[in-house]
Amino acid sequence: MADLGTAERPLRVAIVGSGPSGFYAAAPLLKGETVCTVDMFERLPTLFGLVRGGVAPDHPKIRNVTKVYEKIARHERFTLFANVKVGEDITIEELRRHYDAVIFACGAETDRRLGITGEDLPGSHTATAFVGWYNGHPDYRDLLFDLSQEVAVVVGVGNVAMDVARILAKTVDELRHTDIAQHALDALAESKVREIHVVGRRGAAQAAFTPIEIKEMGALDACDPVVDPAQLALDPVSEQELSDKNKAKNLEHLRAFAERTPAKPRRMHFHFLAGPVEIRGEGRVESMLLGRNQLEGDTPFKLRARPTGETYELPCGLVFRSIGYRGVPIPGVPFDDRWGGIPNEEGRVTENGAPVQGLYAVGWIKRGPSGIIGTNKPDSLETVKCLLEDVPALSPCEIPSTRAVHDLLCGRGVRVVTLEDWARIDAAEVAAGEAVGKPRERFTRVEEMLRVLEG
């Protein structure tokens, strides 16, 4: 038998997930000296993971990175298996019979919980659900958010929390010409939300949002940011954190907000050193009890928030939590429930501390939910480097055939969406958007996407 990674016997790699980390893993595999074929599996008929389903509709430039991914996907040794659920439509054992290596690039699909009383009251939601809803993700299409409430609380001070707060604060005219899902635009047009409270458990210097995200809050048509100057006073250790240029710029924007006199009909209040203690209400969210925190520690960038015991109550009708994400276990794949990801060493999947031959991980499922889109590139390169180092020790798969995988899925009645199929869905969305002055009009149900292919 020819050596793995040669023209006679290419290294066969399956990538589970079509987001940034998956494509950044595919690129070096297809361009390197080791001859590889890459088959990418995606559970939806659409591509690009959080670039499609997580990036806010009013940030279209961020989505331009998909042009890079489309170029990767056009490589002659790349095959797409979309609308296929790994672990359900095809098992991990079956993947391993058809591929020499499997890379998991499936991200972190669920939110971390606050772990407080009242978290599951009607009116309390995850940021993932709200973001998926306004981006037209099929998983969240039919959710309802009671936007008749006048006060909303967003727990978290990362970029996703900023997206949620900003979408709540924007007028319909500010969103009308984006690719926001039409059902969300219609609901937001009737929104009565006038007060938005953004809550961070640590101080202003520790906020995780980027300068561009916080700067945008000062340029909204109908909403003013409100910041208490007293909350921007920093302890000596926090002052040292301003050596990070982004942290310093964040403080600059917040201090400018603190000097403004609110005059617009909506307000966005920032609460630092405050942590959720309880969500209260009879039958639905009516208020949130917040505890005041203080920072402890003497090492910059490692300060912790500690409750002081002092609390205050904030009346509200909606709560969105955005405090981090967790992966979802896949049957047959090791999973660490403590932090919500696949245990690994430099991308090599491990079980009980030992590497599992042929299994690898990239992206959030590998390292946890951190970084921006570009962070996934070096992360994926690290994993691919390890995979290629392991090639001499890999056991060749039993059935080295992409056609066999396709036949297996079709025999089970799975409607595999190919790259050409995705191009048709994509073109149909763009055409529908042009008709109403938007970049695209998203299909929000899998049935609608497949109906395009039937036509």
Orientation angle between helical segments 127-134 and 159-169, nearest 10 degrees: 50
- Determine phi and psi for 402, rounding to 5 degrees: -70, -35
- Cβ contact 35:53 at 8 Å: no
CA distance 167 to 161: 10
Alpha-carbon distance values, 309 to 14, 113, 290 (Å): 51, 22, 10
Three-state DSSP class for residue 25:
helix
Do the first three CATH levels of 11-109+326-417 and 113-321 match, i.e. the same topology? no
pLDDT in tens, the chain (455 residues): 578 999 999 999 999 999 999 999 999 999 999 999 999 999 999 999 989 999 999 999 999 999 999 999 999 999 999 999 999 999 999 999 999 999 999 988 888 899 999 999 999 999 999 999 999 999 999 999 999 999 999 999 999 999 999 999 999 999 999 999 999 999 999 999 999 999 999 999 999 999 999 999 999 999 999 999 999 999 999 999 999 999 999 999 999 999 999 999 999 999 999 999 999 999 999 999 999 999 999 999 999 999 999 999 999 999 999 998 888 999 999 999 998 999 999 999 999 999 999 999 999 999 988 888 889 999 999 999 999 999 999 999 999 999 999 999 999 999 999 999 999 999 999 999 999 999 999 999 999 999 999 97
Cβ atoms of 54 and 373 within 8 Å: the answer is no
Identify whether the C-beta of residue 189 lies closer than 8 Å to the C-beta of residue 176.
no
Looking at the domain 11-109+326-417, which fold is it?
Rossmann fold (3.40.50)
Q: Name the CATH code of domain 113-321 (choices 1.10.10.10, 3.30.420.10, 3.50.50.60, 3.40.50.720).
A: 3.50.50.60
Residues facing 42 on adjacent strands: 82
The pLDDT of residue 369:
85
Q: What is the pLDDT of residue 1?
A: 57
Q: Break the chain into its structural domains and give their ranges.
A: 11-109+326-417, 113-321
Q: How far apart are CA 45 and CA 188, in angstroms?
A: 27
Per-residue pLDDT, 90: 97
